[in-house]
Amino acid sequence: MKPMLDRRCLLLGALAAPAAVRAATPDHPLLHAPWTEIVAAARGQTVFWNAWGGDDRTNGFIAWVNDRVSERFGFRVQHVRLRDTAEAVARVVAEKAAGRLEGGSVDLIWINGPNFLAMKEAGLLFGPFVDRLPNARFIDREGKPATVTDFTVPVDGLAAPWRMAQIVYVYDSARVSNPPRSIPAMLDWARANPGRLTHPTARNFLGATFLKQALFELTPDQSVLAAPATDATFDAASAPLWAWYEAIRPYLWRRGQHFPENGPAQRALMNDGEIDIMISFNPSEASTAIATGQLPPSVRSFVLERGTIGNASFVAIPFNAAHKAAAMVLADFLLSAEAQAHAQDPRVLGSPTVLALERLPPEERARFDRLPRGSATLSDAELGRPLPEPHPSWMTRIVAEWERRVSR
Amino acid sequence: MGASGLALRLLVAPRPGALLRAAPTLTLVLFLGPIAAGLAGTALPAFGFLPAIGGERLSLAPWAALLQAPGFAASLQLTLTSGFAATALSLGIVVLFCAACHDTALFRLAQATLAPMLATPHAAIAIGFAFLAAPSGMVARLLSPWATGWTRPPDLATVNDSAGIALVAGLVLKEVPYLLLATLTALNQVRAPALMRAARSLGYSPAAGWMKAVFPVVYPQIRLPVYAVLAFSLSVVDVAIVLGPGTSPTLGVLAMRWFSDRDLALWFPASAASLLLAVLVSLAIALWRMGEAILSRLGRRWIEAGGRGGGGGALRLAGAGALAAVATLSLAALLVLLLWSAAGPWRFPHALPSSLTLETWRAQAGRLAEAFRATATIGALASCGAVALALLCLEAEHRFGIEPSARALWLLYAPLLLPQLAFLFGLQVLFVRAGVDGTVAAVVWAHLLFVLPYVFLSLADPWRAMDRRLARSAAALGAGPWRTFFTVKLPVMLRPILAASAIGFAVSAGQYLPTLFAGAGRITTLTTEAVTLSGGSDRRVIAAWALAQALLPLLVYAVATAAPPFAWRNRRGLAVA
């Protein structure tokens, strides 16, 4: 594995160094056409939206989006359900390698982090298109900097944000009275309650995030996380993380030998009572899951005293997408108050909006005021301002190191 | 689908007689061509050559990367142990059952339940089995808390265990029916009743007589199916995703993970792993063959010793029990899927959901209908294509007196003896280059490679056993060969043709990797979706998809069984054929 890893790190390192904007298609006619023409061109198309398909609520949301846009704009959304977002990136890379420069099979990707960086740096993205979207002016760029800087990487208009995420931990209040509010306290808790804590496999983004959150709190100097990881900075900064992880691992579910595939699989363990605490990227996970019967009514949320990591989810359009016009209209619809309020509804997704509500017209803002706030959801004050994501190279290295440690 | 289009044009060209003669060859080209090309297309990147992604020179680097991958040794070990264990256990159960129960009413009952068990796709059975056996599964729920004292699921790895026990169990559930069917077919060809009468008259107990007189002549007939089971168990991906361990998974799952990574450099070690799987399968078959030789030598000594065998009551119980366990688990797996798909909130350790609802089905209806349609279309096209090709080959055989050789049978088995991964990646590269990846046609063709062997094997025997006097009578009455084919042979063969179509459909509906590779992720079938969801989703949703996946082939099977009696209700001779 070593030569491969070196190659990947080299690639990431080499590409990350000169951070020049590398839009693949700045001269594309769609980037200069009036919006009405784009909407007209979109009619009749089918957008192949490649999005992680493991979460049923997101799948339901995408189906709702399809209903709305087919009614309003006359195009269809086909959800290509991925096991892992990397599959879609690989497909675009493979198509480029095979010389398919247009008519590509991926129209829109739900993306962020290392996948976004890889596509951006390899010049595989269409755009910059975000400022061409009429609803882009409502994005809360100042209040939610993650909407313009993804994992320290400038988005440069190559991807449109559509939902915010922040780590919360969900616990069963019927079984846990005092949940641990820091990473070291989590170790003590696990020692006292062996087998009752786990995290998704680090190959899944949520599992990697569990480790990143621990890294953030344990590392001696957080400022190095903003720059690409090197061998030297990674070893020094991650040593306390691995010491902590080796200490806690024997007390994890299945003695740290097995891990659930992803967040929903972890949620099923929680619902069955196999575990008592779980990580989530959705601040209203607890309320939403109670509403859908996926978790018992006794679950509540908590965050760590020193804050938790947050980020934004984006949609990006590959350079060779066959249906760019409809993909743009879709990205714009996702930014509409209607779609954002629907996504923020705890009975649907419970994802916080990317918009600055005060900038919306009053009748649009009212959509958000009408939303219920679940009893198991923290207030904005309790949630706190999200911590920034480390540079994607940290995630890539953490996953590889984790894989090395847990594989026998 | 250029080549098959060409074949089609050739087949309907003006001189059908001459072209019919070429049908077997054409079929082989259509069928082995992509496999050979796909194998080459996987072997080259396994040695570092794939210019499209920067592999310009042949090298051993992919192999070095594979060998140094974390957990490679554990993956290799798991692959081998689970593959051999599943095959040996399945064969053992089938032989035990046949030896102990061949003369009982149970045997006929087993025959009747076989086909529906065979039609259920691997993934559905695997998912249902996981729902039964997981720490929070149905078995633990039924026993808790009254017998076990568990108020929460135990911290035991009863599925996804690193030793692969759950994986082996899931494979056995599907391989036993397949091997049993192969054995029953073989029993018809070796005049087992006569052999058994001779053995009984010499004083052998039923079980000893079967093992000593019948099994030695049956085994050579089921050798290829056994090898196919061995190859499948070593290289299966969908069942291993559902039931195998997630860390240090089987080699097939490891290769799949690398094939879908955004870092395309991982395609090289993934290709190497796929090629290694092909090598492993060949070695495993060779090893099995050696085991056969040793066992047959030992067995000969055992037979020559002349022991007549004892009462066999315990043996009978064991044989019937083992098969009953397989059948019960399969049925229970489907029932638990049904229950979960209609469950409201259902917490551990409750044995039943707190309420029943159709909400899950309602919410999934749109997606399910779409995938249902895609699965049905692809399955229908693949099985009809396979049946047409098989019929043309068999008709050519009939008309031109072509004698099928043993080699041809091996060729037919090639796609079942090769790991799918070993040629699907190469095939995908070809499809991409031809610009047909992600089309229904590409998926149908990829499915055809696996559908055709099963269809051909199930049609060949009844076709070859057809009473030749029928065709001769038709010719004597002045019917040309094609008229005889369409108006005499096809109607007489309706039942086997429909049975073969149903088998072909079930094989197609269960395909995971061929759909994924040829469909470029854009063609969603019930199987790809069920496997994708199985990794983690609401259990109720997984259940609905897995159940739908199981029901579609069963439905087709039911229609295929019910149709001939209906169609021939006014033909006394055919109605009971």
Is A402 an 8 Å CB contact of chain B? Answer: no
User: Please, are residues A233 and A221 in contact by the beta-carbon 8 Å criterion?
Assistant: no
Q: How far is A306 from chain B (nearest CA, A)?
A: 30
In the structure, what pLDDT confidence band is assigned to residue B11 with cuts at 50, 70 and 90?
very low
CA separation for the pair A373, B22 (Å, rounded):
72
Q: Which of A56, A88, A261 sits opposite B541 (nearest CB)?
A: A56
- Pair B320, B101: CB distance under 8 Å: yes
With beta carbons less than 8 A apart as the criterion, state whether B234 and B83 touch.
yes
Q: What is the separation of C-alpha A331 from the centre of its chain, rounded to a whole number of angstroms?
A: 16
Please indicate, yes or no, whether residues B460 and B549 belong to a single structural domain of this protein. Answer: yes
On the question of pLDDT at A188 being above 90, the answer is yes
Count of other CB atoms within 10 angstroms of residue B1: 17
Token pair listed for A379: 């207030």
Measured CA to CA, the distance from residue A349 to residue A342 in angstroms comes to 8
Question: How sure is the predictor about B568, in pLDDT bands with cuts at 50, 70 and 90?
Answer: confident
Query: Residue B379: is its pLDDT beyond 80?
Result: yes
Query: Which residues on chain A are in Cβ contact (under 8 Å) with B537?
Result: 54-56, 264-265
pLDDT tens column, B342-357: 998 888 889 999 899 9
| B536 interfaces chain A, CB cutoff of 8 Å | yes
Q: Do B52 and A82 make contact, defined as CB atoms within 8 angstroms?
A: no
Whether residue A273 and residue B347 make contact (CB cut-off 8 A), yes or no, is yes
Residue-averaged pLDDT of chain B: 89
pLDDT(A118) > 60: yes
B53 touches A: beta carbon within 8 Å: yes
Query: b or e along A41-51 (b: 16 or more beta carbons within 10 Å of the residue's beta carbon)?
Result: bbeebebbbbb
Co-location of B317 and B456 in the same domain: no
CA distance A155 to chain B (A): 19
Residue B15's pLDDT band, with cuts at 50, 70 and 90, is: low
**Same domain? B122 vs B178:** yes
Going by pLDDT thresholds of 50, 70 and 90, the confidence category of residue B574 is low
In which element (H, E) is residue B40 found? helix B23-46
Q: Is B246 on the interface with A (CB under 8 A)?
A: yes
C-alpha pair distances (Å), B499 with each of B177, B292, B566: 16, 32, 15
Q: Do A94 and B53 touch (CB under 8 A)?
A: yes
Q: Point out the residue among A105, A263, A296 whose CB comes nearest to the CB of B536.
A: A263
A246 C-beta neighbours (distance < 10 Å), count: 11
- The mean per-residue pLDDT over the stretch B356-374 comes to 92
pLDDT tens digits for range B445-464: 999 999 999 999 889 888 88
> Is there a single domain that holds both residue B342 and residue B369?
no
Q: Is the pLDDT of residue A1 over 90?
A: no
| A258 contacts B245? CB cut-off 8 A | yes
Q: Is residue B457 part of a domain?
A: yes
Q: How far is B563 from chain A (nearest CA, A)?
A: 37
> For residue B353, which of B334, B333, B338 has the smallest C-alpha distance?
B338
How far A88 CA lies from chain B's nearest CA (Å)? 8
Q: Are residues B367 and B242 in the same domain?
A: no
- Check CB contact under 8 Å for A265 and B536: yes
Task: Answer yes or no: do B143 and B219 share one domain.
Answer: yes
Give the Å distances, CA to CA, from A120 to A126, A398, B186. 9, 21, 60
Q: Report residue A388 as tokens.
A: 């920034």
**pLDDT for B572:** 66
Q: What domain range includes position B263?
A: 73-356
Chain B residue with Cα closest to A293: B345
| Dihedral, B299, B302, B306, B309 alpha carbons, nearest 10 | -90
Per-residue model confidence as pLDDT tens digits over B309-318: 765 778 888 9
A209-221: average pLDDT: 95
Comparing CB atoms, the residue among A118, A203, A253 nearest residue B262 is A118
Does residue B338 lie within any of the structural domains? Answer: yes
C-alpha angle with apex B317: B311 to B318, nearest 5 degrees? 105
* pLDDT surpassing 90 at residue B561: no
Residues of B with Cβ-Cβ distance to A276 under 8 angstroms: none
Interface of B with A in 385-444 (CB under 8 A): 429, 432-433, 435, 437-438
- Report d(CA A131, CA B184) in Å as an integer: 69
d(CA B549, CA A152): 44
Q: What's chain A's length in residues?
A: 408
| pLDDT tens-digit map of A304-324 | 999 999 999 999 999 999 999
Residue A21: pLDDT band (50, 70, 90) is very low
Q: What DSSP designation does B522 have?
A: T
Question: Residues B82, B102: one domain?
Answer: yes
DSSP letter at B520 equals T
What whole-number percentage of chain B has pLDDT above 70? 95
Could A408 and B71 be called an inter-chain contact, meaning their C-beta atoms sit closer than 8 Å?
yes
How many inter-chain contacts (A to B, CB under 8 Å) are there? 167
Question: Could you give the CA distance from residue B71 to residue A171 in angstroms, rounded to a whole number?
Answer: 33
Contact A87 B260 (CB under 8 A): yes
Task: Answer whether B449's CB lies under 8 Å from B415's CB.
Answer: yes
* Interface-testing mutation among B247, B513, B516, B522, with chain A (most A C-beta atoms within 10 A): B247
Q: Is A253 on the interface with B (CB under 8 A)?
A: yes
Of B327, B313, B303, nearest to B215 (Cα)?
Answer: B303
Q: Are residues B338 and B370 in the same domain?
A: no
Q: Can you give the pLDDT at residue B4?
A: 42
Question: What pairing do the DSSP bridges indicate for beta strands A46-52 and A76-82?
Answer: parallel
| Cα separation, A159 vs A197, whole angstroms | 35
Homologous superfamily of domain range A2-163+312-373 = Periplasmic binding protein-like II (3.40.190.10)
DSSP B401-469: TPPPPHHHHHHHHHHHHS-HHHHHHHHHHHHHHHT-TTSHHHHHHHHHHHHHHHHHHHHHHHHHTS-HH
Task: Answer whether residue B555 shows pLDDT above 90.
Answer: yes
- Outline where B120-266 has alpha helix (H): 122-133, 138-143, 165-189, 192-201, 206-209, 215-235, 238-243, 251-259
**The predicted structure's pLDDT at residue A14:** 35
Q: What is the mean pLDDT of chain A?
A: 90
Residue B54 covered by a domain: no
Give the gap in angstroms from C-alpha B27 to the nearest C-alpha of chain A: 29
Domains of chain B: total: 2
What is the pLDDT at residue B16?
59
More confident residue, A71 or B16: A71
Look up residue B102 and give its amino acid: H
pLDDT at A165 over 70: yes
Residue A100 pLDDT exceeds 60:
yes
The 10 Å Cβ neighbour count of residue A186 is: 22
The B residues from 352 to 371 touching A (CB cutoff 8 Å) are 363, 366-367
Cα A233 from Cα A391, distance rounded (Å): 12
Strand A153-154 with A277-280, pairing = unpaired
Taking the Cβ of residue A271 and every Cβ of chain B, the question of whether any pair is shorter than 8 Å is answered with yes
Contact (CB, 8 A) for A98 and B52: yes
Q: What is the pLDDT of residues A230-283, one digit of tens each?
A: 999 999 999 999 999 999 999 999 999 899 989 999 999 999 899 999 999 999
The mean per-residue pLDDT over the stretch B351-366 comes to 91
b (16+ CB within 10 A) / e for A320-359: bbbbbbbbbbbbbbbbbbebbbbbbbbebbbbbbbbbbee
The full DSSP string for A110-148 is: EE-HHHHHHHHHTT-B--S-GGGSGGGGGB-TTT-GGGT
pLDDT of B50: 87
Q: Which residues in chain B are contacts of A54 at CB distance < 8 A?
A: 532-533, 535-537
% of residues, chain B, pLDDT over 90: 56
Q: Nearest CB to B65: which of A1, A195, A200?
A: A1
> pLDDT grade, residue A9 (50/70/90)?
very low
CA separation, residue B527 to residues B332, B518, B551 (Å): 20, 14, 12
Say whether B246 and A261 touch across the interface (CB within 8 A): yes
| CATH number of the domain to which B112 belongs | 1.10.3720.10
Q: Domain check: are B317 and B391 in the same one?
A: no
Is B246 close to A268, i.e. CB distance below 8 A? no
Say yes or no for a CB contact (<8 Å) between A259 and B152.
no
Whose CA is closest to B53, among B197, B269, B254, B204? Answer: B269
Mean local confidence (pLDDT), B224-250: 94
Cis peptide before B70 (omega within 30 of 0): no
The predicted pLDDT at position B569 comes to 77
Q: What is the DSSP letter of B59?
A: -
Supply the ipTM of this predicted assembly. Answer: 0.83
Six token digits for residue A222? 């957080």
DSSP state of A229: P
Q: Which range is most confident: A353-367, B46-60, B524-538? A: A353-367
From chain A, the residues in CB contact with B263 under 8 A are: 4, 8, 11, 86, 118
Is B380 found in the same domain as B266?
Answer: no
Same domain, B373 and B469: yes
Is residue B19 situated within a structural domain? no
CA distance B176 to B91: 7
**Same CATH fold assignment for domains A2-163+312-373 and A168-310+388-406:** yes
CATH code matching the domain that covers A168-310+388-406, chosen among 3.40.50.2300, 1.10.10.10, 3.40.190.10, 2.60.40.10: 3.40.190.10
Give the pair of three-digit tokens for residue A192. 């006292």
Are the beta carbons of B347 and A261 separated by less than 8 Å? no
Residue bearing the bigger pLDDT, B522 or A371: A371
Q: What is residue B311's predicted lDDT score, i.e. its pLDDT?
A: 57
The 10 Å Cβ neighbour count of residue B436 is 18
Q: Do B248 and A407 touch (CB under 8 A)?
A: yes
* CA dist A278 → A171, A264, B151, B161, B497 (Å): 7, 11, 20, 22, 54
Residue B52 has pLDDT above 80, yes or no: no
Kindly state the average pLDDT of the residues A13-26: 47
Could you tell me if A3 lies within 8 Å of chain B, comparing CB atoms?
yes
Residue B136 carries which side chain, given as an amino acid letter? S
Which of the 8 DSSP states describes residue B120?
S
CB contact under 8 A, B247 and A100: no
Neighbours of A72 (CB within 10 A): 13
Q: How far is CA B292 from CA B97, B168, B285, in A?
A: 20, 22, 10
Beta carbons of B522 and A56 less than 8 Å apart: no
Would you kindly state where each structural domain of chain A is located, as residue ranges?
2-163+312-373, 168-310+388-406
Nearest chain B Cα to A114, which residue? B262
Residue B25 lies in a domain: no
Which of B299, B332, B356 terminates a domain? The answer is B356
d(CA B13, CA B28): 19
| B337 part of a folded domain | yes
Residue with tokens 């033909």: B571
pLDDT of residue B14: 46
pLDDT at A314: 98
B321 & B380 share domain: no
Report the residue count for chain B: 577
Taking only residues 38 to 77 of chain A, the set having a beta carbon closer than 8 angstroms to any beta carbon of chain B reads: 48, 50, 53-56, 59-60, 63
